[in-house]
Amino acid sequence: MISGTTTLIAHLGYPTFAFKSPLIYNPWFEKKDIDAVVVPMGVKAEDYPTFFRSLFTLTNIRGALVTMPHKVTTMGLVDELSPTAAAAGAVNAVLLREDGTLVGEQFDGTGFVRGVLRKGLTLQGKKALVVGNGGVGSPIAASLAEEGVAELGLFDPNTAASESLAQRLTAHYPRLQVTTGSKDPAGYDLAVNATPLGMNDDDPLPMDVDRLAPTAFVGEVVMKQEITPFLRAAQEKGCKVQVGKDMLFEMIPAYLEFFGFGTATPEELRAVSLVED
């Protein structure tokens, strides 16, 4: 039930038909008797800056979830950026503070990292490879750096994307060793597919699975199918894996904490979620 006391969380993006977050947050709010609601708001890119500023003049808004195509634009519309958001080059959460200032955060990578840690992989001092350095891979790389990996390998067909990400990472994490230009997973403790490859069964694999060590941990961001051909091949090598949807359900507790709504376990969220598997 939405009433005059309900706190709003805007879900900003365009188009909105694929938005899944309201189908997870709102059932959880209802179950926990929290007077808040996530509201999808479709805003085209050309209208976004003006709308964004007007949105935060509302007196009953707590913040916003930000999705495509607005994650980069939002960086220039907030008063403060977290180090992870600055390194990632994108914002996917905004909090309105009591003093009226806006802080931008980035949780795409947080969800991935929380999932990996929950599955028992220690990241401090490890070597990680992130293939795909765009809107998903960049936040994952930034969160891995925040968690303390010693080395990061970056690869993207768009070399400029990798180079730009490497510069941001080394600026914020000067002790981090970053290399670019190779997607060879040999020698890495963690290998991540942050590309769309795997949405279709006939897609090529994002990296050479034969070069993975059986002790490597392998992560996926594709959510269309749980076990992609890449994950299947990695499992056959003996690797531990993380499926794409794990990232979504691990990310939401971080959002809830950011907005001051407490926290939740992925299991609690899955239990009430209306997202179809």
What amino acid positions are annotated as catalytic residues?
A: 71
Token digits of residue 156: 């993207």
Encode 56-68: b = buried (16+ Cβ within 10 Å), e = exposed.
beeeebbbbbbbe
What's the CA gap between 273 and 198, in Å, rounded?
Answer: 24
Query: What whole-number distance in Å separates Cα of residue 66 and Cα of residue 104?
Result: 10
CA angle 118, 165, 104 (to 5 degrees): 65
Q: At 233, phi and psi to the nearest 5?
A: -65, -35
Q: Which residues contact 202 (CB under 8 A, 6 or more apart)?
A: none
What ranges in the chain are assigned the alpha helix state H? 22-31, 48-55, 83-88, 108-118, 137-147, 159-172, 229-236, 244-259, 266-272
Question: CA of 4: how far to CAs of 11, 22, 54, in Å?
Answer: 19, 19, 19
Q: Residue 256's closest CA among 82, 110, 51, 116? A: 110
